[in-house]
Chain A
Amino acid sequence: MIFPTHIYAGPIETWATIITVAATAVAGDVLTAGAMRRIGDLDLIRSKSGLGGAIRAVTSSPMFLLGVLSMAASFFSLLFTLSNVELSLAAPASASLTFLGNAFAAKLFLKENVNRRRWMAALFVCAGVFLLAK
């Protein structure tokens, strides 16, 4: 039996790495968004404490730092995925899953009101991103 030479990983490993990329990206986005919500309106902080005060407010938030750490983990897991899985599958699949995962996570953890309009947006963007990579 002849396998295509450009596929390095089996289906389980392929989807496990893609899901890891999406899950860490969702964690990064949700933690960052949660941190920004706790910190408050950056425009107001900047008008009161200047740009330095706004930067201090953001970088001193442990939740924000955890979010950046998750984003870094997502980046490195994407690099790992790209070394094992075809780019044309890994990039759109992880980006699309991230969009859908963010809608679920925003509703669950950030208590955002993800109404029908936002679900439709997430689905359309998810499908659009997938097609862009074809």
Chain B
Amino acid sequence: MKHTLTPQRYLILLAVMLTASVGDTLLSHGMSQVGPVTLAHLGLLLTALHNPWVITGILCLLGFFASYLTALSWADLTFVLPSTAFGYVVVAFLAKYWQHETITFYRWVGILLIVCGVGFVANGPSLTMHESQHPTDEPTPEIATTGGHR
């Protein structure tokens, strides 16, 4: 089994997965308390900013963006994106056990496919090393056959 990331970097990827899904769920919960926002009642958006669930949700999403950018600075986009998709799975479980929503058969199949997709990239190299680059802490870099500079 080939590990190419340090435990600290796996934690960053975990933060990418969790902060997005938890943030979305918190926002959804907060907005359900605030009520529907229409063009005639745009002021409700300002009211929403006083809701603790909405505030926590926004903080989580800020954390998501920071950890997403950090991950992109040392891993390929095609490595990080499946990790972000795992957030959909977390959202589904949060919806089932916290919001008591029903998960249909199709959704369980979707969750299984996403887990398989994440599994495909999780054990592979996280970064394509071009000939001009030097690895930082990547013990088994993969040299791109396409090569070239951006």
Contact = CB atoms under 8 A, between A and B. Distances in A.
Nearest to B88: A132
Place the interface of chain B in its size category.
Answer: 35 or more
Place the interface of chain A in its size category.
Answer: 35 or more
Nearest to B79: A118
Interface stretch (A13-21, A35-43, A73-81): A35-43
A130 B106 CA distance: 9
Given A41-B136, A111-B146, A134-B107, A118 B113 contact: no
B3 to A, nearest CB: 15
B81 A36 contact: no
A27 interface: no
A115 interface: yes
A-side interface mostly: helix
B113 A125 contact: yes
B148 A37 contact: no
B109 A131 contact: yes
Contact of B72 (A36, A103, A117): A36
Given A39-B73, A42-B69, A113-B146, A128 B111 contact: yes
Q: Which 10 A-B pairs have the closest CB atoms?
A: A131-B110, A124-B117, A128-B113, A128-B114, A132-B110, A125-B117, A36-B72, A121-B120, A33-B77, A134-B106
Interface of A: 29-30, 32-34, 36-44, 58, 99, 102-103, 106-107, 109-115, 117-118, 120-125, 127-134
